[in-house]
Amino acid sequence: MMITKTALPRRTFLRGAGAAVALPLLDAMVPALTTFAKTPAAPVRRLGVVYVPNGMTMPAWTPPAAGPLDLSPVLQPLAPFKDRMLVFSGLDGVQNRGGTHTTAATRFLTGVVGKRTAQGIEAGTSIDQIAARQFGQHTQLASLELALDRLDLVGTCDNTTCAFINSLSWTSPTTQAPAEDNPRVVFERLFGDSGTTDPAERKVQLRRSRSILDSLLESLSDLEQELGSGDRSRLDEYLTAVRDVERRIQNAEAQSAMDLPLVEQPGGIPADYEDYCALMCDLQVLAYQCDLTRVATFMLGREYSGRTYPQIGIAEAHHPLSHHQDDAEKMALLAKLNTYHASLFASYLEKLHRTADGDGSLLDQTLLLYGAGMADGNTHDSQNLPLMLIGSREPFRIRGGRHLRYEHEPAASLLVTVLDKLGVPVERIANSGDPLDLDAPLYPLAGI
């Protein structure tokens, strides 16, 4: 038997001036007593949620038949991950009562229609926060809540408060966790801050300060002497990724500081939507990779989003376009937009797939829920919601490559199922039934 030297703690940080950078999972972070070869550290389970606003073009989203998954046009960009995909039909959200977009965002992870009360607003505890209560005992951050749109709407939405579309996440029935849209704020939350809240002073300090990683060189040099060649290579790749994210944020800030006619971008937010999305995805990957959090929600846009997508030939704002009134040309444009969002999600999955975690990848150890809080955006339909799970056979027992069709099952039953797969079982979420049986086909289908 070979006895290795003392292992590094899983929660190891590099510390420098104003920064503390957590490390990814290394071979050195395994028990000190091993036989001949080190065995990878036990993987952790993670939850990722990616939300699409303003509903979906359902004919272009829905696979043609239940059973073995035949990818629909919108889902084509996800073909490399087909064997991990479960696409659902026939899962119904709670009925709209006085709210449409606000209902959609609020119920997505709570199963509850939000309402105003004398004390403020109320919905239900969201499943990401239920998971975060358990997973957060082991991480620096219990969860991350991210969004790509600034919250420009205030006052009344759907005859209720616009506050409901701030976030998907609720830490309790009366407390919402707002989604952060600024990559700089997220980066500093993960790796340290600039020490000032004054915007003008922050810009000056960021321009003259060294990279966060530059302040860590001494502690990095000491650590590398304790690591094997494989760990040194893995650590170098990770820190290169951190530096690249930091560089992209600094470039975005430099661009936003320029005098641009008619356009004012907040510091840290790239002007290009695709760059913006990639940056926020990379921040999530880094947070998972160094186990700073195991739960993240990510809104590709907020409800009522008026963003245009000229990069794919869509000049009309998203929300008005979703009210297509069955116009074939508008529906085709909306399907194109839905497909574009799916392609951005596919890029995120690829990043998770390429990032090692133990003896697998981050994608292997992350259960992802993707979809929208309403079906047809034109009618604000709450039935047959577009929902999909991405997961692996281990540890989530997901047998992918299938389209599962139900008959008006509460969508909240899927929320219960997600928690069950994460090892955080609950009896009920809102109007849910028992967890869905994802292993047994609903119909006698060949090849399943």
For residue 202, give the nearest of 188, 191, 214 by alpha carbon. 188
Q: Assign domain 45-181+300-442 one CATH number from 1.10.3470, 3.40.720, 3.30.70, 3.30.460.
A: 3.40.720
Per-residue pLDDT at 28: 66
pLDDT of residue 207: 47
- Mean pLDDT, all residues of the chain: 81
pTM of the predicted protein model: 0.80
Radius of gyration of the chain (CA): 22
Q: How far apart are CA 126 and CA 144, in angstroms?
A: 13
What pLDDT does 214 receive? Answer: 62
Residue 111: count of CB within 10 angstroms of its CB: 25
The reported pLDDT for the residue numbered 113 is 87
Assigned token pair, 353: 């797939």
Q: Could you check whether the bond before residue 395 is cis, i.e. omega within 30 degrees of 0?
A: yes
pLDDT in tens, the chain (448 residues): 233 444 666 556 555 545 556 666 676 665 543 443 444 455 689 999 999 999 999 999 999 999 999 999 999 999 999 999 999 999 999 876 545 788 899 999 999 988 888 878 889 999 999 999 999 988 888 999 999 987 655 556 766 778 888 899 999 999 999 899 999 888 888 876 544 445 555 555 544 444 555 655 556 666 766 777 767 776 776 677 676 666 666 666 665 544 433 333 334 678 899 999 999 999 999 899 888 899 999 999 999 888 999 999 999 999 999 999 999 999 999 999 999 999 999 999 999 999 988 889 999 999 999 999 999 999 888 999 999 999 999 899 999 999 999 999 999 999 999 999 999 999 999 999 999 988 765 544 333 3
pLDDT at 34: 44
Backbone angles phi, psi at 84, to 5 degrees: -105, 0
pLDDT digits (tens, 9 = 90+) for 179-220: 999 998 888 888 765 444 455 555 555 444 445 556 555 566
H, E, C per residue of the chain: CCECCCCCCCCCEEEECCEEEECCCCCCCCCCECCCCCCCCCCCCEEEEEEECCCCCHHHHCCCCCEECCCCCCCHHHHHHHHHEEEEEEEECCCCCCCCHHHHHHHHHHCCCCEEECCEEECCCCHHHHHHHHHHHHCCCCCEEEECCCCCCCCEECCEEHHHHHCCEEEECCEEECCECCHHHHHHHHHCCCCCCCHHHHHHHHHHCCCCHHHHHHHHHHHHCCCCHHHHHHHHHHHHHHHHHHHHHHHHHHHHHCCCCCCCCCCCCCCCHHHHHHHHHHHHHHHHHCCCCCEEEEECCCCCCCCCEHHHCECCCHHHHHCCCCCHHHHHHHHHHHHHHHHHHHHHHHHHHHCEECCEECCCCEEEEEEECCCCCCCCCCCCCCEEEECCCCCCCCCCCEEEEEEEEECHHHHHHHHHHCCCCCCCCCCCCCCCCCCCCCCCCCCC
Q: State the chain's maximal CA–CA distance in angstroms.
A: 72
For residue 11, count CB atoms less than 10 angstroms from its CB and return exposed for 0-12, middle for 13-18, buried for 19 or more: middle
**Cβ neighbours, 10 Å, residue 350:** 14
**Where in the chain are the domains?**
1-42+185-268, 45-181+300-442
